[in-house]
Amino acid sequence: MADDSQGGFFSELFAPVAGFGVTFATMFRKVATQEYPEVKWPTQPRFHGRHQLNRHPDGLEKCVGCELCAWACPADAIFVQGGDNDDERGLRFSPGERYGHIYQINYLRCIFCGLCIEACPTRALTMTNEYELADNNRADLIFTKEQLLAPMQEGMLPAPHPMVDGMEERDYYQGKVTAATDEQRRWFEQHAAPADESAETTEEVR
Look at 90 and 124; give whichever has higher pLDDT.
124
Q: What is the pLDDT of residues 14-65, one digit of tens each?
A: 677 766 777 777 777 777 777 888 888 888 888 999 999 999 999 999 999 9
Residue 112 has pLDDT above 70, yes or no: yes
**pLDDT at 202 (0 to 100):** 35
CATH architecture for segment(s) 53-174: 2-Layer Sandwich (3.30)
Domains in the chain: boundaries? 53-174
pLDDT confidence tier of residue 205, bands split at 50, 70 and 90: very low
The string of DSSP codes covering the chain is: -HHHHHHHHHHHHHHHHHHHHHHHHHHTSPP----TTTS-PPPPTT---SEEE-B-TTS-BS-----HHHHH-TT--EEEEEEE-BTTTTB-SSSSSEEEEEEEEETTT-----HHHHH-TTS-EEE-S------S-GGGGEE-HHHHBPPP-TT--PSS-PPPTT--HHHHHTT---S--HHHHHHHHHHHHHHHHHHHHHHHH-
With a cut of 50, say whether residue 101 has pLDDT above it: yes
With bands split at pLDDT 50, 70 and 90, how would you rate the model's confidence at 87? confident
The pLDDT score that the predictor gives to residue 206 is 34
pTM of the prediction? 0.75
Residue predicted with more confidence, 71 or 193: 71
Q: What is the pLDDT of residues 128-163, one digit of tens each?
A: 999 999 899 999 999 999 999 999 999 999 999 999
Is 7's pLDDT higher than 70?
Answer: no
Task: Render pLDDT for 73-84 as a digit per residue (tens, 0 to 9).
Answer: 999 999 999 999
State residue 203's pLDDT score: 41
